[in-house]
Structure 1
Amino acid sequence: MMELALTIFLFLALVATAIMIALMRSLFATVMLSGVFSLLSAVLFVVMDAVDVAFTEAAVGGGISTVLMLGTIALTARHEKEPTSFSVLPLAVVLLTGAALIYGTLDMPNFGAPDAPVQLHVGPDYLARTPDDIDVPNIVTAVLASYRGYDTLGETTVVFTAGLGVILLIGGVGRRRNRRKDQDS
């Protein structure tokens, strides 16, 4: 019961944060709220026992993306330009996409339901085959490193590339500031 209450609270916090992001005109506040949204998502993933996804979300969404967006703001404007007119088409596309996503989830089994396909086919298969196929005692490690090896490699590549981008961005911003100081002198 406590886990359900926490999940509902996190979803409500995500919705509230998304609404605040949509209403903001300050790009700095938008970036900070985006970081909060990513960290709330990471906490939700932890509650749902998806710690590997939570770690990636916290590192890339909450950490590196926030730093990259702050670097972009440092090189551009701090506030969004006022919209010249209101267009109904983007709102209609978002509402239609949201309705389609909700409709697509209506027949999904409840989270952790014992009769869900993953509990009946995939999970027992991994548990039965892993000791013979891979000979690794930890099933989670075996699945992440072997059966999902390409996926894990992709996640690692994304985190590495994002980190490299931050290093290059920080180096570029530092050099630009030094050039501006030299020109001002």
Structure 2
Amino acid sequence: MVGRESSRGVMDRFRSMPMARLAVPFGHTGADSLIGLPLLAAMVGTGLLVGWQPHRGLIPAVEAFLLMMLLRYALSWAGAYVGLLAKNEQTVAQLVPLFLPITMMSNAFVPTDGMPHWLRFLADWNPVSALTAAARDLFGNPGMSTSGHTAWPLTHPVAAVLLWAAALLAVFVPLALRAYLRTGR
């Protein structure tokens, strides 16, 4: 959130405008979610072109897309907080690779069955794994592990995504708002 805007004085201009002080962080995270819609549409369109299809119908498919957007919104608050902590855009750019393991250490690319126990535990309880399992279930696509070790987030993926989103929002919305209000002092 801070990045180039702060270094160019845009944040100071926002603070001088007659609007609610919290409009900027809420607007930023809302805009980030809206930016995700055309990206999601492009991904779905590409998938449909190569033969992917949701097998459970329109309503479960829409539910899967809504879960994706909800988790994106919750994670955008985490990104806003990290961006507000950073002093400049170079620092933010250097922090981005730290978030890559969250995606890579999930069941999105490989099943967790063959992972060492400690890594499987982390991957099974990863919010991206819960979202992946929820999307696979709602789209009716295969990929869910059927072994006996399956963790709660993978047996109840929709509930797990909702809980992850609620937890992320409960933690990062207040942190980001406090950091934003502090940066103006």
What's the TM-score once normalised by structure 2's chain length? 0.34
Structure with more contact order per residue of length (Cα contacts < 8 Å, sep ≥ 6): 2
Higher helix share: 1
